[in-house]
Structures are given as structure tokens and as C-alpha cells.
Amino acid sequence: MKKVGEVVLLWLLILFIHNAAGEGYSPPGKPTNISCRSPEKETFTCWWKPGSDGGLPTTYALYYRKEGSQRVFECPDYKTAGKNSCFFSKNVTFVWVNYNITVVATNSRGRAFSDPVDIDVVYIVKPNPPEEVVVNVTEDKDWPFLQVSWKPPKMADTRSGWITLFYEVRLKLENKNKWEEVSAGQRKTLQIYSLRSGGTYEVQVRCKPDHGFWSEWSPSSRVKVPEYFPQERSMWILIVVFAAFILVIFIWMVYMNFHSVKRYLLPPVPGPKIKGIDKQFLKSGKSEDIFSSLVVSDFPPTTSNYEDFLVQYLEVYVPEERELIMDEGKDLQDDSFKTENSTCDNDSGRGSCDSHTLLTDKGGGDKEDGQQSDQEGSQAEADTKSQEEALEEELLACSHENLQSSNVSNEKEKVKSWPSLFSPLPQYSLSPVNRPNPPKTGQQHCLSDSLFTPNSMPSYFTQPGPSTRKGFRSNYWECSFDHKQSHPLHPQSAAHEHLQAQNDLNTAHVDYMGAPLDVHVLNVRPSEYVEVQRVSVEDGVLLHPVSPSQEDSRTLSHQTEDYSRVRVVNNDNGLLLLQRDAIEEEKSMCPYQEDVVSRASITPTLQNSATGINIALPILDEMAASGYIDTATMFGLPTH
Amino acid sequence: IRAASSCTNGQTGCHFLSLANLFDRVIQHSARMHGISNDLHSEFELYFLPSKNQIGRVSRNCHTSTILTPNGKENAQRIAREELTEVILKLLVAWREPLWHFHQNMAQHREFNNFSSNKSLEMSEMVHELRRGVQKVVEKMQMLGVINSSLGNLGSPEALLASDRAEWRLMNDYDLLYCFRRDSNKIQNYLKILKCRIVPEHGC
């Protein structure tokens, strides 16, 4: 029983399966995807996709109708084109004719019709790939390129003009995946440049009719490009070297101009500005303005300040009394100073009008001025140098003048005038000249100037710096003027005139100097006053320094220095007093100084008990090492 | 299309060169004409016919179907030059008036954009110019003796149009476009064949 049961179950199972299988029989499925292609526009092939066969052998049939006809034709050839295809030969192919194609699947159960498809051969042309693709590597001056050539597919008749094909080429490196496509038009050759050295290329070609589909790509044609990289390498080396060279030059240029660049970026700290001078103003370029700008108010010394240097003036006023007064006759000195200065002119460049040994009242005035100037300030220090220079200049000028002056008469005159200075009696040699108290200003200029010693300068001259020079100049002027004027004159009359000229100069000079300067000029070195201790009967004059009581302490220090020594004593009572410092200079520069005797006009008012002029040559020699004395102080200043 | 002939009458080689140039120009013109017709047809299909494959289309008859045209390469090569030339001219003549009316319809419909309207106008004008160009080619060929002068009736378009006068009016616009697209392709192809048959050495 169990066996039967099993057999029955088995049979039932088989039946069941069989029935199941048997119910699978069905009409075939509908064929789909009918596509037709013509390779040359002369034949075409259609393919379809069969549906399910329904479990039964299914046959497929293709039927077509041409436009304008109801006649149905069946596919003539199912085999040529493979399975599920239909090949239309030339005989049945008509171009510009609309085909309506239907595929029918048939099996025992039924049949299935596919959807109809309309085709026109003209628009379904898909040619075969181009044939005989040849790729050559052509060497062109070491820059190779590819030469690709091909032929149209055999089937397509392009020669008769039946089909017009357009070609396309593509290539890629063997390793890469990206293709590069190049259109070739209707040509059958193509050149490809810009190849990679040593690379291997694959080249493919395809074609398309003017109205149709692209063909498949032709099989790859491989080609290897030869190595031409070494040239590139050498070129790269050249480029690198050149670039390095340019870089080195650039760095060097930057290095050379580093300072200018640095200066541009970090401008230097501007230097100190000169007070009173505008840099921009200087840049403006006007010379006049520039020079005026350079002129500081205080420097160079104005004319007025120069009169301070007139302190050097020694106006030896020889009054009829011929008294030597060492005191400060301020008032008198002022008067005499002003009058006696007229003899000297303001001609710059010339030294004092006469010899250096002029003693004028100026000295007193200078002394007076000196007092005041001392009180004023310490500008003398600044003047020292200028004064020194002026002194030297004056000495030079004096030397020149002395050289020039060849008038013995002058000397005589001076000599003549000299005694009047020292002798109490105003036996003025210029007797023909009857001048009661003529202000006879000796040519003290040089002398007075010589009084200015470098050491003594600062103390005695409190004048402003710029004035110093001018004062010297004035003295120079006086000197020269004296000489000039004295030449054409008669000896005696010349002397007279000389005196007068000198007086005039001095006076004029004094006037020119102006009042304040007069004061200053007069303020020579009070300490330099040489007191005439004793006046010998004949020719002796003893000079000793005046006590600095009336002057500042400053002057004290320079007392000794200012002692003059009698350089020479003329026969006619001429005494040349030299300051200590100036002696040496005098020896070298002023050879005539010995002969020149400054005339000192001694105001008659000079009365002083202390006015004892002790002139002792030896003493003076000692003391006069420094050169000229301030004869003005010595003689001219009334020491009241 | 004017034949720019720079040759004298005595040089046949130069004449053939000029003939080849004439053919090239005509072929280019026909190619352009076909392109325009193709574009118009595609636009028409998008706007008016959702379904492309319709059975009814098979029954369509172009008014030029009466003109016997070679449907294959062998037929085209077998036909005589003169006949081929005549076919071309017939086709060109047959389409002049229908296209003109088609353009008029396009301008009125407003469904087409300006681009299509301009194309239809251009298409109609091209047909006319192409016909004149082909006539010039024919004259050239006749002058050169390439074809004999038996084609006397080509010079009279009225004779050609007489038989086709009313048939094209029965066609709708879409069918008209469809038919013209095919006929322009025929013209282009026939011209190419003619050129390669007469002057094969110049680009065939």
C-alpha cells in the first residue's frame, strides 16, 4: 500500500508538474525593437528582438509593405544577417521608398505581431568602418608627426557619388583612457602633431554618410613615436642656465642699489639746521636772496659795530700845551676822538692812515668805550679771532703802506709830531701849522690796530664780534689814506695836510663809526693805559701801566701784555710804541714802522697826576714784547 | 547661381573645371535645401504628430510620385544623363509652387515660431534658385556637348507644371514636408551622381 501510495503521489506530482508545464504554452510574445540598417544604401537588414516563445517553438516572420501599395511581402532572407534578422538584398531594396515592416512571431499556440516600423533606406545608412587604416610616423626636422590614411569601406560606393562619407579620426596614448577626436571631413588622410616623445599611440577612424549614422570605429592601429626628448632636455638645460644667470644679475643689481633702496625706505636723519638759513630758500636759487639770507644779523659785523674796533685808534691829539694826559678824559676824548678821526677815511682795505704808532685821543675814547663795552658783554671773545685776523691784516696793510710810502717827509712829520706827544711842551714840529689844539691825529691806526693782541683782545674789546673787523678796516683806511694824501704834498705842508687829513680821516671815521662805536672804540683796554710816569725833558717818556682801578678787572689781566715798548725814538721826539705782540710782527711786516710815528694828539685837558709817562726804552723793550700798545689809552685818554 | 567662367571657349579642360565648380555649387545648394527641409520636418513632427509610425502614412502620395525617379543606385547609374537631369529639373519645378503656399500657410498659422517661418521662406526661395542653377549647369553641359540638346522641354516650366497643378493642394502640411524632404534628398543625390558621371576627376 505504501508503495502504491508513493507511486500515486509520484504520478500526481508528475501530472501536476506536467500540467503546470503544459499551461505554460502560450502564444509567443511580441517581437520588439525592430531596427534596420543599411551599410551602403543598397541593401539593408532588420533585426528584431523576439519575445517569449511561450514554451513552444516559435517562428518569426517579417512582413513588409511598401508605400503606395497594399501588397505584403515577406522577408526574403532570414539567414544572411543571423538570427532574428531579415536581410533585404538589392533587388528588394528601394531607396526613397517607405517600408512598413512588421514581425510576426508564431507558435502552436498563437502568433504575435510586432509594432510596425516605417523606414526609409536613405535615413538608416550606417556604413562599415573605414578600411586599411595606415599610420606612419614621419620625421620632420626632429619633430615627428603622425600620418594617418584610410580607405572608405568597400561596400560604400563613394566614387559614383551615390554615398558621400565624412570621416573622423581619434587617437590616444596607449596607457591613457582619453581619446582625442579629429574631424577629417571627406579627406582620406590626416596629419597629427604635438606627439609625446617615446609614446605609443592608438589610432582609429570612422565614417558617416551625409544623412545617416556613424560607423563603428576601425580597429586600433598602434604606432610608437621615437624619442626626441634629449633635445628638449638640452633646451631645458639652456633655459635653466639662462634663467639662473638672469636671476644672479637681478640679485646683484638689487644688492648694488641696496643703499639707495634703503635710503628710499629709511630716509636718513636730517642734519642740524643752521639757524636763520632756510634750506628751501637756498634751493630757490636766487643768489641775492641767498647771500642776504646767509648774512646773519650779527655777522658780519655791521658798519656800526666796526667802530668798536676804533678802540685801536690812537688819536694823539697834540695840543699846544703838549701835555700828556693819561687819564681818561672822557669828554675830551670823545670830542677829540670825533674830531680827530676825521683824518681817516673809510676806505676799506687800507690800514690806518698812518704809522702804527699813532697816538690819538681815540685811545681815551676807546678806553671809555672799553669800559662800557666791558660792561656790555663778552662779545669780545668772539671778536678775538676776528680781531687777530684784522690785526694781522692791518699789519700787512701797514707794511704795504709803509712800503709804499716813500715819503720821508711823512716820517719826518710823524717824527715831528712825535715829540709833541711825549714832551710836555707842545713843540709840535709842525710849527708852520699853527693850530691851536689842532686835533692831530697821528697815524695811529696801524699802531692802534696793533694794540690788539690776541691775548688781550677779549678783555679789552667788548665790542660785538663783527664790529671788530670793521674797526680794523677803518684803521687801515686811515693808514692808506694818509699815505696817499701825503705824497704830493710838500714835506712840511704835506705833513700839515697829512695831519689834517688824518684828522679829517679820523674824525670822519669816528663819525662814520657812530656814537655807540665811538664808545666802544674808545674802550680799548683800560688796563693798557700806560701812564706817562715821567716825561723827560728832552725825549724821555716813561710809561707805566695805569692801574686798572678805573677799569674792570678784566683789563687787569692784560695789563702787562699791552705794554708797548718804544721801538724807536726819533730825533724829533718821535716815539714809536709797540705793543708786545706786535713787535715781532712788526719786525717782519712793517719795516717802516720804525720810522712811522703815530701822532698822538694829546688833549690839553689831559691832566692827570698820574699822567706821568715814563718812557724808558729798556723798560719798554721788555714790556713791549707784545707789540703795539694802545697808544690811545696811553696818551689820548684823559685820565681824570 | 551664376557660372563664373573665366575660360575662353577654346579650352575644354578649363570648361570642365568650371563645370565641376558649377556642380559643386549646385550640390552645396541642394544640400542646404535638404537640411532646411529636414529641420522643418522634425519640428513639425514634434508639434503635430506625437506618434511617428502610423499606418496611414503609407498611403500617402506625394504629388511628385508621378515623376519617375530612379530608386536605386543601379537605376540611377543606368539612366541617361539627360534623363537624370530632366528628373532633377522636374522635381525642382514641381516643388516651387507648393512650397510657396506652404510658406504662406506657415506665416498665417502663428504656431510656428519665426525661425520656422523664415526657414519655410528660405526653402521656397531655394527651390527656385536651385532650379535656375541647374538650368545653368544644363546649359553648360549642352554647350560642352556633354549632353545632347534633346531636352528642349526643360526650358518651359509651364509644361512641367501642367500635370501637377492640383495634386499638391490635397496634401496637408505635414505630408508636404515629408515629401519635400525626400525629394530634396533625391535632388541632391542625383546631382552628385550626375557630377561624378560627367566630371568624375574632381572630388568623386
B134-179: pLDDT as tens digits? 998 888 888 888 787 665 545 555 555 555 566 777 777 788 888 9
Say which residue the cell 563645370 belongs to.
B19
Residues of B in contact with A113 (CB under 8 A): none
Closest Cα in chain A, distance from residue B93 (Å): 19
* Ordered DSSP codes for A197-266: TT-EEEEEEEEEESSS---PPPPPEEEEPPP-HHHHHHHHHHHHHHHHHHHHHHHHHHHHTHHHHHHHHS
The three cell numbers of residue A39 are: 551599410
State which residue of chain A sits closest to B71, comparing Cα positions: A95
Inspect the interface and report whether the beta carbons of B204 and A161 lie closer than 8 Å: yes
State yes or no: pLDDT of A282 exceeds 70: no
Tell me what pLDDT residue A22 has: 54
Closest Cα in chain B, distance from residue A6 (Å): 59
Given A67, A115, A211, which is nearest B185 (Cβ)?
A: A211
Quick one: pLDDT band at residue A111, thresholds 50, 70, 90? Answer: confident
pLDDT in tens, B50-98: 555 454 454 467 888 888 899 889 998 898 888 889 899 989 988 988 8
Determine which of A35, A46, A96 to mutate to test the interface with B (most B C-beta atoms within 10 Å).
Answer: A96
Is the CB of A435 inside 8 Å of chain B's CB atoms? no
Tell me what pLDDT residue B164 has: 53
Is the CB of A211 inside 8 Å of chain B's CB atoms? yes
Closest CA to A315 of A601, A612, A16: A601
Tell me what pLDDT residue A440 has: 41
What residues contact A13, with CB distance under 8 A and at least 6 apart? none
Inspect the interface and report whether the beta carbons of B57 and A67 lie closer than 8 Å: yes
Tell me what pLDDT residue B169 has: 76
Cβ atoms of A162 and A41 within 8 Å: the answer is: yes
* Ordered DSSP codes for A61-93: EEEEEETT---EEE-SBSSTT-TTEEEE-TTT-
Burial class (CB in 10 A: 0-12, 13-18, 19+), B6: exposed
Tell me what pLDDT residue A430 has: 39
Tell me what pLDDT residue A415 has: 40
Cβ atoms of B176 and B168 within 8 Å: the answer is: yes
User: In b/e form, how buried is each residue of B59-71, taking b as 16+ CB within 10 angstroms?
Assistant: ebebbbeebebbe
Cβ atoms of A342 and A507 within 8 Å: the answer is: yes
Say which residue the cell 631645458 belongs to.
A236
Q: Which of A19-23, A577-581, A635-639 has the lowest mean pLDDT?
A: A635-639
pLDDT in tens, A186-241: 899 999 888 888 889 999 999 999 889 999 999 999 998 887 766 667 788 899 99
Is the CB of A98 inside 8 Å of chain B's CB atoms? yes
Tell me what pLDDT residue B65 has: 83
The highest-level CATH class for domain B19-49+63-198 is mainly alpha
State yes or no: pLDDT of B45 exceeds 50: yes
Q: Which of A79-88, A97-106, A309-318, B26-35 has the lowest mean pLDDT?
A: A309-318
Whether a cis peptide bond, with omega within 30° of 0, leads into A300 is yes
Inspect the interface and report whether the beta carbons of A68 and B38 lie closer than 8 Å: no
d(CA B70, CA B78): 9
The pTM is what?
0.52
Residues of B in contact with A186 (CB under 8 A): 203
State yes or no: pLDDT of A161 exceeds 80: yes
More confident residue, A265 or A557: A265
What's the gap between Cα A592 and its chain centre? Answer: 59
- Which helix (H) or strand (E) segment holds residue B8: the answer is none
Closest CA to B15 of B180, B142, B175: B142
Q: Which residues, listed in sequence order, are joined to residue A49 by a DSSP beta bridge?
A: A32
Q: Between chain A and chain B, how many beta carbons pairs sit less than 8 Å apart?
A: 73
d(CA B24, CA A557): 131
Radius of gyration of the CA atoms of chain B, in A: 18
Q: Which of A93-97, B103-107, B129-133 has the lowest mean pLDDT?
A: B103-107
Percent of chain A with pLDDT over 90: 18
- Which helix (H) or strand (E) segment holds residue A302: the answer is none
